[in-house]
Structure 1
Amino acid sequence: MSATHKLTAIEIDNASLPAATAEIEHERRVAIFDLVEQNRFVPEGAAGGPYALKLSSQDNRLAFEITGPDFSRTHVLSLTPMKTVIRDYGLICESYYEALRGSSPSQIESVDMGRRGLHNEGAALLKARLEGKVEMDQETARRLFTLVCALYRRG
Protein backbone atom coordinates (compact mmCIF):
# COMPACT_ATOMS: atom_id res chain seq x y z
CA MET A 1 0.00 0.00 0.00
CA SER A 2 1.42 3.38 -0.98
CA ALA A 3 2.35 5.77 1.80
CA THR A 4 0.60 8.50 -0.19
CA HIS A 5 -2.82 7.09 0.71
CA LYS A 6 -3.55 9.81 3.24
CA LEU A 7 -5.44 13.03 3.72
CA THR A 8 -3.26 16.12 3.63
CA ALA A 9 -6.00 18.78 3.59
CA ILE A 10 -9.50 19.05 4.99
CA GLU A 11 -11.91 21.85 4.22
CA ILE A 12 -15.28 22.45 5.83
CA ASP A 13 -18.12 24.18 4.02
CA ASN A 14 -19.23 26.22 7.02
CA ALA A 15 -22.15 27.75 5.09
CA SER A 16 -23.85 24.35 4.73
CA LEU A 17 -23.27 23.11 8.30
CA PRO A 18 -24.70 24.22 11.65
CA ALA A 19 -23.33 27.52 12.91
CA ALA A 20 -20.37 27.17 15.25
CA THR A 21 -19.49 29.03 18.41
CA ALA A 22 -15.84 29.92 18.98
CA GLU A 23 -15.47 26.83 21.19
CA ILE A 24 -16.96 24.53 18.55
CA GLU A 25 -14.85 26.14 15.83
CA HIS A 26 -11.77 25.41 17.95
CA GLU A 27 -12.89 21.76 18.34
CA ARG A 28 -13.26 21.51 14.56
CA ARG A 29 -9.76 22.90 13.98
CA VAL A 30 -8.23 20.51 16.52
CA ALA A 31 -10.09 17.54 14.99
CA ILE A 32 -8.87 18.51 11.50
CA PHE A 33 -5.29 18.92 12.74
CA ASP A 34 -5.34 15.50 14.44
CA LEU A 35 -6.83 13.81 11.39
CA VAL A 36 -4.39 15.36 8.91
CA GLU A 37 -1.45 14.69 11.24
CA GLN A 38 -1.94 10.92 11.12
CA ASN A 39 -4.30 8.92 8.93
CA ARG A 40 -4.66 6.10 6.44
CA PHE A 41 -7.26 7.01 3.84
CA VAL A 42 -7.71 4.92 0.68
CA PRO A 43 -10.62 5.92 -1.58
CA GLU A 44 -11.95 3.05 -3.67
CA GLY A 45 -10.58 3.28 -7.22
CA ALA A 46 -7.83 5.77 -6.44
CA ALA A 47 -4.31 4.94 -7.58
CA GLY A 48 -2.65 7.09 -4.95
CA GLY A 49 -2.82 10.33 -3.04
CA PRO A 50 -2.36 12.51 -1.25
CA TYR A 51 -6.02 13.49 -0.93
CA ALA A 52 -8.01 16.55 0.02
CA LEU A 53 -11.38 16.17 1.71
CA LYS A 54 -14.15 18.76 1.69
CA LEU A 55 -17.05 18.17 4.06
CA SER A 56 -20.42 19.78 3.52
CA SER A 57 -24.08 19.19 4.14
CA GLN A 58 -26.34 18.41 1.17
CA ASP A 59 -30.05 17.82 1.78
CA ASN A 60 -29.40 16.94 5.45
CA ARG A 61 -26.68 14.47 4.48
CA LEU A 62 -22.95 14.67 4.96
CA ALA A 63 -21.03 15.00 1.70
CA PHE A 64 -17.44 13.78 1.46
CA GLU A 65 -15.82 15.37 -1.59
CA ILE A 66 -12.49 13.61 -2.10
CA THR A 67 -9.90 14.83 -4.59
CA GLY A 68 -6.41 13.67 -5.38
CA PRO A 69 -4.09 13.36 -8.34
CA ASP A 70 -6.28 12.16 -11.21
CA PHE A 71 -9.09 11.36 -8.76
CA SER A 72 -12.29 13.08 -7.75
CA ARG A 73 -15.36 11.57 -6.14
CA THR A 74 -18.16 12.66 -3.83
CA HIS A 75 -19.94 10.35 -1.42
CA VAL A 76 -23.08 11.55 0.31
CA LEU A 77 -24.07 9.74 3.51
CA SER A 78 -27.23 9.89 5.52
CA LEU A 79 -26.25 10.32 9.13
CA THR A 80 -29.62 9.05 10.36
CA PRO A 81 -28.12 5.67 11.33
CA MET A 82 -25.49 7.55 13.36
CA LYS A 83 -27.67 10.21 15.03
CA THR A 84 -28.04 8.33 18.31
CA VAL A 85 -24.34 7.60 18.77
CA ILE A 86 -23.39 11.18 17.78
CA ARG A 87 -25.90 12.58 20.29
CA ASP A 88 -24.87 10.16 23.03
CA TYR A 89 -21.18 10.84 22.42
CA GLY A 90 -21.78 14.59 22.75
CA LEU A 91 -23.67 14.07 26.01
CA ILE A 92 -21.03 11.82 27.53
CA CYS A 93 -18.27 14.25 26.52
CA GLU A 94 -20.12 16.97 28.42
CA SER A 95 -20.38 14.63 31.42
CA TYR A 96 -16.67 13.86 31.16
CA TYR A 97 -15.65 17.53 31.15
CA GLU A 98 -17.99 18.17 34.07
CA ALA A 99 -16.51 15.21 35.96
CA LEU A 100 -13.00 16.60 35.41
CA ARG A 101 -14.05 19.72 37.32
CA GLY A 102 -14.89 18.01 40.58
CA SER A 103 -15.39 14.26 40.61
CA SER A 104 -13.24 11.55 42.13
CA PRO A 105 -10.64 9.81 39.97
CA SER A 106 -12.74 6.64 39.89
CA GLN A 107 -15.81 8.57 38.68
CA ILE A 108 -13.73 10.29 36.00
CA GLU A 109 -12.32 6.94 34.89
CA SER A 110 -15.79 5.43 34.72
CA VAL A 111 -17.16 8.26 32.55
CA ASP A 112 -14.02 8.14 30.39
CA MET A 113 -14.47 4.42 29.76
CA GLY A 114 -18.03 5.08 28.56
CA ARG A 115 -16.80 7.96 26.40
CA ARG A 116 -14.12 5.80 24.77
CA GLY A 117 -16.62 2.99 24.20
CA LEU A 118 -19.05 5.33 22.41
CA HIS A 119 -16.16 6.83 20.44
CA ASN A 120 -15.16 3.34 19.25
CA GLU A 121 -18.78 2.49 18.43
CA GLY A 122 -19.19 5.69 16.40
CA ALA A 123 -15.91 5.11 14.58
CA ALA A 124 -16.90 1.54 13.68
CA LEU A 125 -20.29 2.72 12.45
CA LEU A 126 -18.74 5.48 10.33
CA LYS A 127 -16.21 3.03 8.92
CA ALA A 128 -19.05 0.64 8.03
CA ARG A 129 -21.04 3.48 6.39
CA LEU A 130 -18.01 4.26 4.21
CA GLU A 131 -17.28 0.62 3.38
CA GLY A 132 -16.73 0.13 -0.34
CA LYS A 133 -16.10 3.87 -0.70
CA VAL A 134 -13.09 4.58 1.53
CA GLU A 135 -10.84 2.18 3.39
CA MET A 136 -9.30 3.44 6.62
CA ASP A 137 -7.78 2.07 9.79
CA GLN A 138 -9.50 2.25 13.18
CA GLU A 139 -7.52 5.29 14.38
CA THR A 140 -8.40 7.25 11.23
CA ALA A 141 -12.06 6.27 11.69
CA ARG A 142 -11.88 7.50 15.31
CA ARG A 143 -10.40 10.84 14.23
CA LEU A 144 -12.94 11.23 11.44
CA PHE A 145 -15.79 10.43 13.84
CA THR A 146 -14.46 13.13 16.19
CA LEU A 147 -14.59 15.62 13.32
CA VAL A 148 -18.12 14.57 12.31
CA CYS A 149 -19.26 15.05 15.92
CA ALA A 150 -17.63 18.48 16.00
CA LEU A 151 -19.38 19.41 12.75
CA TYR A 152 -22.81 18.60 14.09
CA ARG A 153 -22.36 19.85 17.63
CA ARG A 154 -24.69 22.65 18.50
CA GLY A 155 -23.55 25.64 20.57
Structure 2
Amino acid sequence: MTGSDQARRNRLSAVEIDESIGSGLSADVDHERRVAIYDLIEDNRFTVIGHQAGPYRLQLSAADNRIIFDIWSEGEERVSMIGLSLSPFRRIVKDYFMICESYYKAIRTATPSQIETIDMARRGLHNEGSDLLKERLEGKVEVDQATSRRLFTLLCVLHWRG
Protein backbone atom coordinates (compact mmCIF):
# COMPACT_ATOMS: atom_id res chain seq x y z
CA MET A 1 0.00 0.00 0.00
CA THR A 2 1.43 3.39 -0.97
CA GLY A 3 1.54 6.35 1.41
CA SER A 4 -1.29 8.11 -0.42
CA ASP A 5 -3.45 4.94 -0.30
CA GLN A 6 -2.81 4.69 3.41
CA ALA A 7 -3.64 8.39 3.91
CA ARG A 8 -6.97 7.88 2.12
CA ARG A 9 -7.75 4.92 4.37
CA ASN A 10 -6.51 6.28 7.72
CA ARG A 11 -9.10 9.00 7.98
CA LEU A 12 -12.64 9.88 8.91
CA SER A 13 -15.03 10.07 5.98
CA ALA A 14 -18.05 11.08 8.09
CA VAL A 15 -18.68 12.53 11.55
CA GLU A 16 -22.07 12.49 13.21
CA ILE A 17 -23.04 14.02 16.52
CA ASP A 18 -25.80 12.68 18.74
CA GLU A 19 -28.90 14.23 17.15
CA SER A 20 -30.10 15.55 20.51
CA ILE A 21 -27.03 17.79 20.48
CA GLY A 22 -27.64 20.97 18.59
CA SER A 23 -30.87 22.28 20.00
CA GLY A 24 -30.34 24.95 22.60
CA LEU A 25 -26.75 25.71 21.63
CA SER A 26 -25.75 29.33 21.28
CA ALA A 27 -25.16 30.50 17.72
CA ASP A 28 -21.42 30.75 18.42
CA VAL A 29 -21.15 27.19 19.82
CA ASP A 30 -23.28 25.76 17.00
CA HIS A 31 -21.05 27.52 14.48
CA GLU A 32 -17.93 26.03 16.13
CA ARG A 33 -19.55 22.57 15.98
CA ARG A 34 -20.40 22.87 12.28
CA VAL A 35 -16.95 24.21 11.36
CA ALA A 36 -15.18 21.45 13.34
CA ILE A 37 -17.20 18.73 11.58
CA TYR A 38 -16.60 20.27 8.16
CA ASP A 39 -12.87 20.69 8.80
CA LEU A 40 -12.59 17.15 10.18
CA ILE A 41 -14.11 15.59 7.09
CA GLU A 42 -11.98 17.74 4.78
CA ASP A 43 -8.64 17.00 6.46
CA ASN A 44 -7.89 14.49 9.20
CA ARG A 45 -5.71 11.57 10.21
CA PHE A 46 -7.55 8.91 12.18
CA THR A 47 -6.41 5.32 12.63
CA VAL A 48 -8.02 2.75 14.90
CA ILE A 49 -5.15 0.80 16.47
CA GLY A 50 -5.26 -2.83 15.34
CA HIS A 51 -7.74 -2.12 12.55
CA GLN A 52 -6.29 -0.73 9.34
CA ALA A 53 -9.45 -0.86 7.24
CA GLY A 54 -10.54 2.77 7.13
CA PRO A 55 -11.87 5.18 6.13
CA TYR A 56 -14.10 5.38 9.17
CA ARG A 57 -17.41 6.91 10.13
CA LEU A 58 -17.45 8.39 13.63
CA GLN A 59 -20.56 8.83 15.74
CA LEU A 60 -20.02 10.94 18.86
CA SER A 61 -22.34 11.05 21.82
CA ALA A 62 -22.24 11.71 25.55
CA ALA A 63 -23.71 9.38 28.15
CA ASP A 64 -23.07 8.70 31.84
CA ASN A 65 -20.34 11.37 32.07
CA ARG A 66 -18.51 9.78 29.13
CA ILE A 67 -17.86 10.75 25.55
CA ILE A 68 -18.57 7.81 23.28
CA PHE A 69 -16.57 7.32 20.09
CA ASP A 70 -18.63 4.83 18.07
CA ILE A 71 -16.43 3.99 15.08
CA TRP A 72 -17.77 2.26 11.98
CA SER A 73 -16.29 1.18 8.68
CA GLU A 74 -17.77 2.56 5.51
CA GLY A 75 -19.15 -0.96 5.00
CA GLU A 76 -21.42 -0.48 8.06
CA GLU A 77 -19.35 -2.71 10.35
CA ARG A 78 -18.65 -1.51 13.89
CA VAL A 79 -14.90 -1.22 14.29
CA SER A 80 -14.71 0.00 17.88
CA MET A 81 -16.65 1.73 20.61
CA ILE A 82 -14.56 3.81 22.98
CA GLY A 83 -15.89 5.52 26.08
CA LEU A 84 -13.75 8.20 27.69
CA SER A 85 -14.60 9.76 31.02
CA LEU A 86 -15.38 13.46 30.72
CA SER A 87 -14.07 14.10 34.24
CA PRO A 88 -10.43 14.74 33.21
CA PHE A 89 -11.70 17.35 30.74
CA ARG A 90 -14.06 19.16 33.11
CA ARG A 91 -11.72 21.99 34.19
CA ILE A 92 -10.30 22.60 30.72
CA VAL A 93 -13.76 22.63 29.11
CA LYS A 94 -15.16 24.98 31.77
CA ASP A 95 -12.22 27.36 31.39
CA TYR A 96 -12.38 27.06 27.60
CA PHE A 97 -16.08 28.00 27.50
CA MET A 98 -15.51 30.94 29.85
CA ILE A 99 -12.70 32.30 27.69
CA CYS A 100 -14.72 31.66 24.51
CA GLU A 101 -17.57 33.76 25.91
CA SER A 102 -15.07 36.52 26.63
CA TYR A 103 -13.64 36.15 23.13
CA TYR A 104 -17.05 36.38 21.42
CA LYS A 105 -17.89 39.49 23.47
CA ALA A 106 -14.47 41.01 22.73
CA ILE A 107 -14.92 40.53 18.99
CA ARG A 108 -17.91 42.84 19.18
CA THR A 109 -16.46 45.57 21.38
CA ALA A 110 -12.74 45.25 22.22
CA THR A 111 -9.62 46.61 20.60
CA PRO A 112 -7.57 44.32 18.31
CA SER A 113 -4.84 43.93 20.95
CA GLN A 114 -7.41 42.90 23.60
CA ILE A 115 -8.93 40.39 21.17
CA GLU A 116 -5.48 38.99 20.38
CA THR A 117 -4.68 38.52 24.07
CA ILE A 118 -7.94 36.65 24.72
CA ASP A 119 -7.50 34.61 21.55
CA MET A 120 -4.01 33.51 22.63
CA ALA A 121 -5.41 32.29 25.95
CA ARG A 122 -8.29 30.55 24.14
CA ARG A 123 -5.88 28.79 21.78
CA GLY A 124 -3.68 27.74 24.70
CA LEU A 125 -6.60 26.07 26.48
CA HIS A 126 -7.72 24.48 23.23
CA ASN A 127 -4.22 23.04 22.72
CA GLU A 128 -4.18 21.75 26.30
CA GLY A 129 -7.54 20.04 25.78
CA SER A 130 -6.57 18.52 22.44
CA ASP A 131 -3.31 17.22 23.93
CA LEU A 132 -5.26 15.59 26.77
CA LEU A 133 -7.69 14.05 24.29
CA LYS A 134 -4.85 12.68 22.18
CA GLU A 135 -3.27 11.22 25.34
CA ARG A 136 -6.57 9.62 26.45
CA LEU A 137 -7.04 8.04 23.00
CA GLU A 138 -3.49 6.66 23.00
CA GLY A 139 -3.41 2.92 22.32
CA LYS A 140 -6.93 3.05 20.90
CA VAL A 141 -6.90 5.65 18.13
CA GLU A 142 -4.06 7.56 16.54
CA VAL A 143 -4.80 11.12 15.45
CA ASP A 144 -2.70 14.07 14.33
CA GLN A 145 -2.74 17.42 16.15
CA ALA A 146 -5.23 19.09 13.80
CA THR A 147 -7.66 16.17 14.12
CA SER A 148 -7.28 16.16 17.89
CA ARG A 149 -8.05 19.91 18.02
CA ARG A 150 -11.25 19.47 15.99
CA LEU A 151 -12.32 16.47 18.06
CA PHE A 152 -11.72 18.49 21.22
CA THR A 153 -14.06 21.18 19.89
CA LEU A 154 -16.74 18.51 19.45
CA LEU A 155 -16.00 17.07 22.89
CA CYS A 156 -16.62 20.56 24.31
CA VAL A 157 -20.02 20.71 22.63
CA LEU A 158 -20.91 17.24 23.95
CA HIS A 159 -19.63 18.08 27.43
CA TRP A 160 -21.59 21.32 27.45
CA ARG A 161 -24.78 19.47 26.52
CA GLY A 162 -23.94 16.18 28.31
Answer yes or no: same fold by TM over 0.5.
Answer: yes
Which residue of 50, 53, 57 maps to 2:55?
Answer: 50
Secondary structure at the aligned position of 1:135 is classed as: strand
CA contact (8 A) 2:71 2:81 kept: yes
Per the normalisation by structure 1, the TM-score is: 0.89
1:147 paired with 2:151, answer no
**How big is the shift at 1:103?**
1.3
Tell me if structure 2 keeps the 8 A contact 1:46–1:71.
Answer: no
Give the secondary-structure state (helix, strand or coil) at the position aligned to 1:52.
strand
Residue of structure 2 aligned with 1:136, choices 135, 143, 146: 143
**Identity level (%):** 54
Structure 1 pair 26/18, CA: closer, same or farther in 2 (3 Å)? closer
Task: Quote the residue 1:41 is aligned against.
Answer: 46
* Deviation (angstroms), 1:26: 4.0
TM-score, length-scaled by structure 2: 0.86
How many corresponding residue pairs?
Answer: 153
Q: Which runs of 5+ in 1 are unaligned?
A: none
1:124 to 105, 108, 131: 131
Partner Cα distance (1:120, 1:134) in 2: 18
Q: Structure 2 stretches of 5 or more lacking a match?
A: none
The root-mean-square deviation of aligned C-alpha atoms, in Å, is 1.9
Moved >4 Å (runs of 4+) = none
